[in-house]
């Protein structure tokens, strides 16, 4: 009896006073609103237990990607994701892809993105977004990196394009997932991870919480998408990586999971997908 219990998988027990091993898998530290204070944001995140940060460039010009890589190079557990945001898909051409491939030679670049489709804002044409998504999927395959996908009100077409192009061998994630349970099932079937943001804490997100409850534990990620999507109770202020703890709490609550064990699982998921070595548990 005793022996059998030892062999059972039991949740990790946190030492008293220890913080969960958190990761923010998606934030925009080179955003003009965050860049100047990146040092203090990172310090605050560390104090909140955030051990790894993935900073995403992609918004605006290639300079945002360059700035993001430069920030990643300054900190040990900070990595960069580079690409062209769907809002800027109009400027996604072969030359830009070549520049990204060159920048991706830096070892701190762990994924290509965020690419994808946004049919809510439609800041660039649907055709340009589709083409840009295809180019990113091919680039991720060529560079042997995972892909990070933005998807807003475009779940069917994104799943269709990923299906047509084929998932890059290193896989990928839908960041800030806001789709239905059926969308989640389709993305999971394609092999994608699903990342949940501070939206999980919003009062009107009951359906999303119900979907998050059902996602297999080994496909879960969490993120802030800072400076956007500030979680409760900080709405109205700029978001920052430290607040990822609020999304972890919301996810743990809805899944009836022990927060530290869930955080450890998410760290392992992210390390597996993005190929970094997880920091040692203290």
CB of 41 to Zn ion, least distance (A): 15
Closest CA to 196 of 182, 43, 210: 210
Stretch that binds Zn ion, among 67-75, 112-120, 131-139, 238-246 (CB under 5 A): 112-120
- Encoding tokens for residue 133? 């998504």
Sign (positive or negative) of CA dihedral 212, 33, 21, 71: positive
CB of 245 to Zn ion, least distance (A): 19
CB of 28 to Zn ion, least distance (A): 6
DSSP string, 12-54: PPPPTTPPP-EEEEEE-TTSHHHHTTHHHHHHHHHHTTEEEEE
Q: Which residue is nearest to Zn ion (CB)?
A: 150
CB of 115 to Zn ion, least distance (A): 9
The CA distance from 112 to 98, in Å, is 13
Closest CA to 273 of 214, 219, 196: 219
Stretch that binds Zn ion, among 4-12, 71-79, 224-232, 256-264 (CB under 5 A): 224-232
Q: Tell me if 100 sits within 8 A of 140, measured CB to CB.
A: no
Stretch that binds Zn ion, among 74-82, 97-105, 114-122, 156-164 (CB under 5 A): 114-122
CB of 17 to Zn ion, least distance (A): 33
Given the complex with Zn ion, which of 84 and 97 has the nearer CB atom?
84
Stretch that binds Zn ion, among 69-77, 130-138, 199-207, 223-231 (CB under 5 A): 223-231
**Binders of Zn ion in range 35-94 (CB under 5 A):** none
Size of the site for Zn ion (CB under 5 A): 3
Q: Which of 108, 136, 150, 209 touches Zn ion by CB under 5 A? A: 150
Q: How far is CA 63 from CA 69, 84, 101, in A?
A: 10, 11, 14
Interacting residues with Zn ion (CB under 5 A): 114, 150, 225
């Amino acid at each position: 009896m005793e022996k059998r219990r030892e062999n059972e998988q039991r949740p990790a027990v946190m030492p008293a006073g220890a913080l969960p091993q958190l990761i923010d898998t998606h934030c925009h530290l080179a955003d003009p609103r965050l860049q100047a204070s990146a040092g203090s944001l990172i310090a605050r995140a560390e104090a909140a237990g955030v051990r790894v940060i993935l900073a995403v460039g992609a918004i605006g010009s290639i300079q945002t990607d360059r700035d993001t890589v430069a920030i990643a190079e300054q900190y040990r557990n900070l990595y960069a994701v580079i690409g062209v945001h769907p809002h800027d898909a109009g400027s996604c051409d072969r030359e830009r892809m070549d520049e990204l491939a060159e920048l991706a030679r830096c070892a701190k670049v762990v994924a290509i993105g965020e690419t994808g489709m946004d049919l809510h804002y439609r800041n660039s044409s649907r055709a340009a977004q589709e083409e840009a998504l295809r180019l990113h999927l091919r680039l991720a395959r060529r560079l042997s990196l995972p892909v990070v996908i933005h998807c807003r009100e475009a779940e069917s077409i994104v799943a269709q394009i990923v299906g047509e192009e084929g998932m890059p061998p290193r896989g990928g994630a839908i960041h800030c997932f806001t789709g239905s349970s059926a969308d989640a099932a389709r993305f999971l079937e394609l092999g994608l991870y699903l990342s949940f943001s501070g939206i999980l804490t919003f009062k009107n997100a009951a359906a999303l919480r119900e979907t998050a409850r059902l996602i297999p534990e080994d496909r879960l990620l969490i993120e802030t998408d800072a400076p956007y999507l500030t979680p409760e109770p900080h709405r109205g202020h700029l978001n920052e990586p430290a607040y990822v703890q609020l999304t972890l709490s919301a996810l743990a609550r809805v899944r009836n999971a022990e927060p530290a064990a869930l955080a450890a699982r998410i760290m392992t998921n992210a390390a597996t997908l993005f190929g970094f070595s997880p920091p040692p548990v203290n």
